[in-house]
């Protein structure tokens, strides 16, 4: 958040929480406080300067010196350190708003999916504490269901122990191979979990879907020091020069069903109330599954080999049922 | 307005901060004219005995902004009083401050930091960003090494629906029900937003259907309109109730399928299935949603039961063949 512009409400929140933090800390350096709140030193200095000249109208309604906050100006200006020397009206931390409390509670429910948190009673207690610390009933927001994937526990164990991770991986191209990686980070997007790691055989950092991994074990060797310094990019998917382009059509409004397949730069053309666009895919192989999943809504327009891939896939699926008539 | 000196510009956050301080400091409350004429950021623009309409509107907006942050800005009316100008405003300290018995241990703060960062993309990020600021007053929010879970609220409907939930406003939206290919407009009272097994649902009371229904956010196929019609709240924990309903369905509905050895389907479905007599059993909420997913596996999956699911998968595979075998769309328009 450090590089972000703060909006009015965010700035006010910073002011209201900075005061009790400073009361608690006594004297603290600007750099340390800025890092603590995830803002730039400049943004923090601005906030401190504002607090130092703020206060209440007071008896005289003229904002007399005694009605204002004060700081140790010399240490602020010379040593870049903050110390509040006079307080007015405010010294405790504010409650959470209902949506803030809801965001935290729902976030905790999601984090509970991690194997190490699954049975933690602390999380339930924490949720009720948040509800009590909210200024209104937390917004009706909740996350749950599904079951934690046991593989996740093994991956987490390898990361914590600083060891390598070994597993069979089946790529989206349908190729299987044994991999050895230094696991760096677990990522997730809703129901899908990923692990990023340094792939020793390929000498590159790679992303693996947890549900494409099998025969997973923590390796005997430690993860190498070099791999720890690999910067993990924040985006999960990177386009590849091997991608193929396919033209498709969906009813207006069904676009969201294509989810991650739609590039943010994709050009979408309306045609008779339907939308036409070009998808970038790793391989024509993924089209059969995609068009079968969205059979009621998606039409692949071309190229012809893409349409053929869909027909072959779906026909092969139907043959399974012809060979196995329902009893 | 000639001859009036231009008032010095006071930054928004200074005006809001001064308003909060003034209202926290007052015991009996301040009237609107007290506030506008004395509080920093307003007083510079206050016209004594003149027209302050613009400033009053500013004050109304500021009140909303402050309340949105969870600051309990109260209105106190004297008994029998009818004059709006005599209303008093204040922020009671006891309702502003976190209750004295609410403390967070370092371990809890780490968990809360992780929970807040789950939202770093999407509509709730403004709330979680402010929650992080408030948490920071309590101690260190150390990031958890090697862990970056994320909840997406990419569905366009999320933001207007959460706004409607806060206001208890009736909403309308076109909905493409799973298994159907035409959207229909729904008019509902939103009660909760929940994510179950990785999918976002709206729990709502559907006036036309005369009962509570759940809607998949990914199936809301157009803009959500938040109407001006509101409905009274109750003290039911709707989020919990919706989640429990979905979980009950998930527990009840069991599919049995076989998978091709060594296939994608085998590798991936095994992560969330149990193996019984050579078949995989998979729990699910909605037949059509699971049918979409299983149809995608084509020849790699054979659905044994229930029959409804089996038929739904066959229908999809047939539709995919028909659509791509016979239809001859003109390719020019696709590139036009």
Please indicate, yes or no, if residue A276 is contained in any of the structural domains.
yes
Answer yes or no: do A108 and B137 touch at CB < 8 A: no
pLDDT confidence of residue A227: 61
Domain, as residue range, for A111: 96-148
Answer yes or no: do B237 and A140 touch at CB < 8 A: yes
Answer yes or no: do A134 and B70 touch at CB < 8 A: yes
Answer yes or no: do A132 and B133 touch at CB < 8 A: no
Strand partners, B259: B301
pTM of the model: 0.79
Q: Which residue has the higher pLDDT, A184 or B125?
A: A184
pLDDT confidence of residue B334: 40
From chain A, the residues in CB contact with B131 under 8 A are 96, 100-101, 103-104
Q: What is the 3-state secondary structure (H, E, C) of chain A?
A: CCCCCCCHHHHHHHHHHHHHHHHHHCCEEHHHHHHHHCCCHHHHHHHHHHHHCCECCCCCCCCCHHHECEECHHHHHHHCEECEEECCCCCCCECECHHHHHHHHHHHHHHCCCHHHCCCHHHHHHHHHHHHCECCCCCCEEEECCCCCHHHHHHHHHHHHCEEEEEEEECCCCCEEEEEEEEEEEEEECCEEEEEEEECCCCEEEEEEHHHEEEEEEEEEECCHHHHCCCCCCCCCCCCCCCEEEEEEEECCCHHHHHHHCCCCCCCEEECCEEEEEEEECCHHHHHHHHHHCCCCCEEEECHHHHHHHHHHHHHHHHHHHHCCCC
From chain B, the residues in CB contact with A98 under 8 A are 70, 166
pLDDT confidence of residue A6: 65
- In terms of average pLDDT, the best of A187-191, A279-283, A304-308, B3-7 is A304-308
The overall average pLDDT reported for chain A is 85
Whether residue B44 has pLDDT greater than 70: yes
Question: What is the average per-residue pLDDT within A263-271?
Answer: 79
Q: Which residue has the higher pLDDT, B145 or B180?
A: B180
List the single residue in A with minimal CA-CA distance to B266.
A212
pLDDT confidence of residue B332: 38
| B282 Cβ under 8 Å from any chain A Cβ | no
CATH class of B12-96: mainly alpha
List the single residue in B with minimal CA-CA distance to A61.
B38
Question: What is the average per-residue pLDDT within B43-54?
Answer: 91
Q: For residue A5, what pLDDT band results from cuts at 50, 70 and 90?
A: low
Instruction: Say yes or no: A42 and A72 in one domain.
Output: yes
- In this complex, which of A93, A159, A191 lies closest to B138 when CB atoms are compared? A93
Question: What is the average per-residue pLDDT within B207-233?
Answer: 90
Q: What percent of chain A has pLDDT over 90?
A: 35
Q: What residue segments make up the domains of chain B, in order of their start?
A: 12-96, 98-154, 170-236, 253-325
Question: What is the average per-residue pLDDT within A95-109?
Answer: 87
pLDDT confidence of residue B331: 41
> Count of CB contacts below 8 A, A vs B?
412
Candidates B157, B218, B147; CA nearest to B188 is B157
Query: DSSP 3-state helix, strand, coil percentages of chain B (rounded to 5)?
Result: 45, 20, 35
Question: What is the average per-residue pLDDT within A183-187?
Answer: 85
Q: What is the number of other CB atoms lying within 10 angstroms of the CB of residue B138?
A: 21
Q: Which residue has the higher pLDDT, A159 or B295?
A: B295
Beta strands in B9-120 (DSSP E): 30-31, 74-76, 88-90
Question: What is the average per-residue pLDDT within B54-80?
Answer: 90
- In this complex, which of A98, A140, A289 lies closest to B296 when CB atoms are compared? A289
Per-residue pLDDT of B316-331, as tens digits, reads 999 999 999 864 444 4
Q: For residue B137, what pLDDT band results from cuts at 50, 70 and 90?
A: confident
- In this complex, which of B13, B117, B124 lies closest to A12 when CB atoms are compared? B13
Kindly report the nearest CA distance between residue A292 and chain B, in angstroms.
5
Instruction: Say yes or no: A74 and A55 in one domain.
Output: yes
Q: Which long-range contacts (CB under 8 A, 24 or more apart) does B122-126 make?
A: B122/B151, B122/B152, B122/B153, B122/B154, B122/B158, B123/B153, B123/B158, B123/B159, B123/B162, B124/A99, B124/A103, B124/B151, B124/B153, B124/B162, B126/A9, B126/A10
Q: Which residue has the higher pLDDT, B1 or B117?
A: B117
Question: What is the average per-residue pLDDT within B302-313?
Answer: 95
With a CB-CB cutoff of 8 Å, which residues 142-201 of chain B face chain A?
145-152, 154-156, 162, 165-166, 174, 176, 179-181, 183, 191-199
Structure tokens at A23: 């009361």
Whether residue B85 has pLDDT greater than 80: no
Please tell me the least confidently modeled range out of A160-164, A237-241, B23-27. Answer: A237-241
List the single residue in A with minimal CA-CA distance to B180.
A296
Structure tokens at B326: 């016979």
Please indicate, yes or no, if residue A235 is contained in any of the structural domains.
no
With a CB-CB cutoff of 8 Å, which residues 202-221 of chain B face chain A?
203, 218-221
Answer yes or no: do B108 and A89 touch at CB < 8 A: no
Whether residue B140 has pLDDT greater than 50: yes
Spatial neighbors of A205 by CB under 8 A, at least 6 apart, are A184, A196, A197, A198, A199, A230, A232
pLDDT confidence of residue B328: 47
- Spatial separation of the C-alpha atoms in residues A81 and A67, rounded to whole Å: 23
Candidates B315, B322, B332, B180; CA nearest to A301 is B332
Q: For residue B291, what pLDDT band results from cuts at 50, 70 and 90?
A: very high
Answer yes or no: do B118 and A111 touch at CB < 8 A: yes
**Domain holding A22: CATH number?**
1.10.10
Structure tokens at A16: 């209201």
Structure tokens at B319: 């539709």
Q: Which residue has the higher pLDDT, B143 or B1?
A: B143
Answer yes or no: do A103 and B116 touch at CB < 8 A: yes
Question: What is the average per-residue pLDDT within B286-308?
Answer: 94
**Domain holding A316: CATH number?**
3.30.70
- Spatial separation of the C-alpha atoms in residues A50 and A53, rounded to whole Å: 5
Spatial neighbors of A213 by CB under 8 A, at least 6 apart, are A151, A167, A168, A169, A195, B267
- Spatial separation of the C-alpha atoms in residues A151 and A216, rounded to whole Å: 7
pLDDT confidence of residue A284: 79
Per-residue pLDDT of A201-222, as tens digits, reads 888 888 898 889 999 999 888 8
User: Whose structure tokens read 């709502």?
Assistant: B204
The values of phi and psi at residue A271, to 5°, are -145, 105
Task: Note whether A208 and A143 are within 8 A (CB).
Answer: no
Answer yes or no: do A8 and B262 touch at CB < 8 A: no
Whether residue A231 has pLDDT greater than 70: no
Spatial neighbors of A304 by CB under 8 A, at least 6 apart, are none
Instruction: Say yes or no: A187 and A199 in one domain.
Output: yes
pLDDT confidence of residue A239: 64
Spatial neighbors of B331 by CB under 8 A, at least 6 apart, are A247, A301, A302
From chain B, the residues in CB contact with A324 under 8 A are 302
Whether residue A301 has pLDDT greater than 60: yes
Q: Which residue has the higher pLDDT, A207 or B39?
A: B39
Q: Which of A32, A103, A115, A135 to mutate to test the interface with B (most CBs of B within 10 A)?
A: A103
Task: Note whether A238 and A291 are within 8 A (CB).
Answer: no
Question: What is the average per-residue pLDDT within A45-66?
Answer: 92
From chain A, the residues in CB contact with B246 under 8 A are 145
The ipTM (two decimal places) reads 0.77
Q: Where are the alpha helices (DSSP H) in B194-262?
A: 238-252
pLDDT confidence of residue B45: 92
| B133 Cβ under 8 Å from any chain A Cβ | yes
**For chain A, how many structural domains are there in total?**
4
From chain B, the residues in CB contact with A13 under 8 A are 69, 130, 133-134
Q: What percent of chain B has pLDDT over 70?
A: 90
pLDDT confidence of residue A217: 93
Q: Which residue has the higher pLDDT, A4 or B77?
A: B77
From chain B, the residues in CB contact with A61 under 8 A are 38
- In terms of average pLDDT, the best of A81-85, B114-118, B218-222 is A81-85
Kindly report the nearest CA distance between residue B49 and chain A, in angstroms.
18
Answer yes or no: do A15 and B145 touch at CB < 8 A: no
Please indicate, yes or no, if residue A238 is contained in any of the structural domains.
no
Answer yes or no: do B162 and A139 touch at CB < 8 A: yes
């Amino acid at each position: 958040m450090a590089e972000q512009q703060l909006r009015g409400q965010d700035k006010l929140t910073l002011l209201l929480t900075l005061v009790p933090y400073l009361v608690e800390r006594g004297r603290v350096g600007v750099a340390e406080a800025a890092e603590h709140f995830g803002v730039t030193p400049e943004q923090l200095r601005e906030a401190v300067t504002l607090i130092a000249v703020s206060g209440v109208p007071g008896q005289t309604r003229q904002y007399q010196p005694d009605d204002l906050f004060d700081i140790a100006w010399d240490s602020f200006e010379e040593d870049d350190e903050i110390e509040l020397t006079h307080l007015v009206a405010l010294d405790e931390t504010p409650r959470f708003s209902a949506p803030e409390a809801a965001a935290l509670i729902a976030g905790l429910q999601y984090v509970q999916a991690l194997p190490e948190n699954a049975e933690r009673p602390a999380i339930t207690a924490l949720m009720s504490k948040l509800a009590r610390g909210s200024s209104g009933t937390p917004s009706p927001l909740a996350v749950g269901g599904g079951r934690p994937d046991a593989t996740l526990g093994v991956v987490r164990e390898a990361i914590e122990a600083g060891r390598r991770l070994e597993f069979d991986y089946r790529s989206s191209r349908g190729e299987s191979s044994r991999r050895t990686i230094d696991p760096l980070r677990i990522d997730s997007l809703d129901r899908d979990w990923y692990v990023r790691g340094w792939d020793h055989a390929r000498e590159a950092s790679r992303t693996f879907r947890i549900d494409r991994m099998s025969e997973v074990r923590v390796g005997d060797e430690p993860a190498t020091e070099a791999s720890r310094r690999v910067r993990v990019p924040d985006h999960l998917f990177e386009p590849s020069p091997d991608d193929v382009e396919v033209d498709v059509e969906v009813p207006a409004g069904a676009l969201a069903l294509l989810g991650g397949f739609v590039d943010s730069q994709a050009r979408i053309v309306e045609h008779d109330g339907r939308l036409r666009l070009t998808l970038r895919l790793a391989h024509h192989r993924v089209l059969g599954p995609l068009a079968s999943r969205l059979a009621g809504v998606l039409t692949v327009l071309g190229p012809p080999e893409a349409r053929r891939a869909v027909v072959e896939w779906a026909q092969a699926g139907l043959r399974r049922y012809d060979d196995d008539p329902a009893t | 307005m000639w001859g009036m000196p231009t008032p010095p510009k006071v930054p928004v956050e200074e005006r809001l901060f001064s308003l909060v301080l003034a209202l926290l400091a007052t015991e009996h409350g301040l009237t609107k004219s007290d506030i506008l004429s004395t509080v920093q950021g307003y007083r510079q623009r206050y016209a004594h005995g003149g027209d302050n309409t613009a400033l009053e509107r500013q004050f109304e907006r500021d009140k909303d902004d402050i309340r949105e942050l969870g600051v309990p800005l109260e209105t106190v009316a004297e008994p029998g009083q009818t004059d709006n100008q005599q209303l008093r405003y204040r922020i009671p300290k006891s309702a502003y401050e976190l209750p004295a018995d609410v403390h967070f241990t370092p371990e809890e703060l780490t968990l809360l930091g992780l929970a807040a960062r789950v939202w770093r993309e999407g509509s709730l990020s403004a709330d979680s960003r402010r929650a992080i600021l408030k948490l920071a007053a309590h101690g260190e929010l150390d990031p958890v090494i090697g862990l970056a879970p994320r909840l997406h609220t990419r569905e366009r409907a999320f933001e207007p629906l959460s706004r409607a939930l806060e206001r208890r406003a009736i909403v309308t939206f076109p909905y493409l029900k799973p298994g159907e290919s035409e959207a229909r407009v729904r008019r509902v009272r939103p009660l909760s937003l929940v994510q179950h097994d990785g999918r976002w649902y709206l729990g709502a009371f559907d006036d036309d259907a005369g009962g509570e229904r759940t809607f998949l956010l990914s199936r809301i196929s157009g803009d959500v309109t938040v109407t001006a019609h509101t409905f009274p709240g109750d003290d039911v924990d709707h989020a919990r109730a919706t989640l429990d309903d979905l979980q009950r369905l998930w527990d009840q509905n069991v599919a049995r399928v076989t998978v091709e050895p060594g296939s994608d389907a085998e590798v991936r479905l095994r992560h969330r299935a149990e193996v019984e007599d050579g078949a995989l059993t998979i729990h699910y909420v909605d037949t059509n949603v699971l049918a979409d997913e299983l149809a995608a596996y084509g020849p790699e999956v054979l659905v044994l039961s229930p029959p409804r699911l089996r038929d739904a998968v066959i229908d999809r595979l047939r539709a995919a063949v028909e659509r791509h075998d016979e239809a001859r769309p003109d390719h020019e328009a696709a590139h036009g």
